[in-house]
Amino acid sequence: MLLGVIADDFTGASDIANTIAKGLPGQGGLRTVQYLGLPSAAADAEVEAGVIALKSRSIDAAVAVEQSLDALKWLLDQGCEQIVFKYCSTFDSTPAGNIGPVAEALANALAVKGVIACPAFPGAGRTVYQGHLFVKDRLLDESGLENHPLNPMIDADIRRWLRLQTVSDVGHVDIATVHDGAPAIVAALRRHGEANRALVIVDAITDDDLVAIGRAAAPDRLITGGSGIAVGLAANFIERGLARGTVAGALPVDGLEAILAGSCSGATREQVEIHSRNHPTLAIDVTGVMEGKVTASELTSFLLANRGRAPLVYSSGTPDEVRAIQSRFGRENVAATLDGLFAETARHLVSAGIKRLVVAGGETSGAVVSALDLGALAIGPEIDPGVPVLLSKGDQPVALVLKSGNFGAPNFFTKALERLAGR
């Protein structure tokens, strides 16, 4: 294994696995596997990039640090030369969040400073300019992410946000330096490291910027960012002759299907609305769930009764609905209860023979996939930017899509089911 990734959620893990497996156009990527939690055995010999999906984004920082250091150890034991810590392209965290603590702990463990921190993902509209994060044409804190149920992003200046989470000061490399190319980026990062800054926000607006940053990062032991930060990383290994460059093939599974949506993001709510116009759809009564009146058996019965017709169940609510339910029952209690509901539903579905499963939302995907105990996933073709087809191993494979809340075209759900079937 050459490249190891520690991802703080499951959709984010499949996002960066997709980027690494894809590589640069015409060159191909690395042979990549997504692990669902810390693997208990050594990786298969042919794996060139291993992505460990943790469910650490919204947990206590000390626990996230411990889990991430365990993941680091496993990846180093597999031979990885370079480690990426993958967090959300919208920098999802709270002032007490764990991007800073985990990144600093990894930097300490690898004895490095002046480490790149860049959440940019231009393909999904996330750019970093003057240390501020934009989602399309809006600053982060005016993009809808200020209403996130767990990690409301209320400051677009991610240098300032990250400083709330770190022990050491945070540096910044501006876009002019990035445009000067890899040697200028390397020199700027070195200066920040010499000034004792563990982490450095690096501006990036286009994929070309990310390729330049990737080249600058070639010798780095540690890099942190969104999936965009990996755009040029496979190329470094291919150009050094350490990997051949592979193109992910189709991994079709044509079986019964279901869609579960727990994300409350604008994109997912629009996808739900569009899908519901001509497919069987059940809105979960979240108050009923919290009062114990709605159970996983009901959701499963609905999905199984409508199999073959792309059925969807969703909890996704508007910011007002989310606020109301959280103030009545408590944010963490609601999240944990909904996670449990989706997890149990997914277990029932797979034991009833569902073979194609589309899940929307990182926390929701983490809950579902952990409940299914699938082990490791192969990465197939990209469906929409940042969302690949995934396939579990073994003789009863399940084809999966773990969609980040804000990703995907409006007709994503039907498109994803077709791609899973190889159509």
Binding-site ranges for ligand ATP (CB under 6 A): 9, 11, 148-150, 262-265, 286, 315-317, 321-322, 325-326, 334-335, 338-339, 361-364, 404-406
227 binds, among ligand LCNOYBR7, ligand ATP, none (CB under 5 to 8 A by kind): ligand LCNOYBR7
363 binds, among ligand LCNOYBR7, ligand ATP, none (CB under 5 to 8 A by kind): ligand ATP
**Interatomic CA distance for residues 128 and 271, integer angstroms:** 27
The stretch near ligand LCNOYBR7 (CB under 6 A) out of 4-12, 96-104, 264-272, 303-311 is 4-12
Footprint on residues 73-112 left by ligand LCNOYBR7 (CB under 6 A): 88-90
What minimum distance in Å lies between the beta carbon of 158 and ligand LCNOYBR7?
Answer: 13
Pairing of strands 49-53, 32-36: parallel
DSSP one-letter code for 85: E
For ligand ATP, give the closer residue by CB, 252 or 317: 317
DSSP one-letter code for 243: -
Q: Which residues pair with 128 in a beta bridge?
A: 133, 204
Number of Cβ atoms within 10 Å of the Cβ of 320? 9
Considering only the C-alpha atoms of the chain, give the largest distance between any 2 of them, rounded to a whole number of Å: 63
**Interatomic CA distance for residues 169 and 241, integer angstroms:** 37
**DSSP-based three-state secondary structure for 278:** coil
For ligand ATP, give the closer residue by CB, 149 or 311: 149
Of 311, 362, 366, 385, the one binding ligand LCNOYBR7 (CB under 6 A) is 362
Report if residue 52 touches ligand LCNOYBR7, rule: CB under 6 A: no
DSSP one-letter code for 92: -
Report if residue 15 touches ligand LCNOYBR7, rule: CB under 6 A: yes
Q: Are 140 and 91 in contact (CB under 8 A)?
A: yes
**Interatomic CA distance for residues 364 and 342, integer angstroms:** 7
Pairing of strands 115-118, 222-225: parallel
15 binds, among ligand ATP, ligand LCNOYBR7, none (CB under 5 to 8 A by kind): ligand LCNOYBR7
- Provide the mask over 113-132, with x wherever binding to ligand LCNOYBR7 is found by CB under 6 A and - wherever it is not: --------x-----------
Q: Which residues pair with 287 in a beta bridge?
A: none
- Pull the structure tokens for residue 358: 């589309």
The stretch near ligand LCNOYBR7 (CB under 6 A) out of 8-16, 132-140, 234-242, 334-342 is 8-16
For ligand LCNOYBR7, give the closer residue by CB, 50 or 362: 362
Q: What are phi and psi of 291, to 5 degrees?
A: -90, 5
Q: Are 98 and 56 in contact (CB under 8 A)?
A: yes
What minimum distance in Å lies between the beta carbon of 85 and ligand ATP?
Answer: 16
Distance, first Cα to last Cα, the chain? 32
What minimum distance in Å lies between the beta carbon of 172 and ligand LCNOYBR7?
Answer: 20
Binding stretches for ligand LCNOYBR7 (CB under 6 A): 9, 11-12, 15, 88-90, 121, 226-227, 362, 386, 404
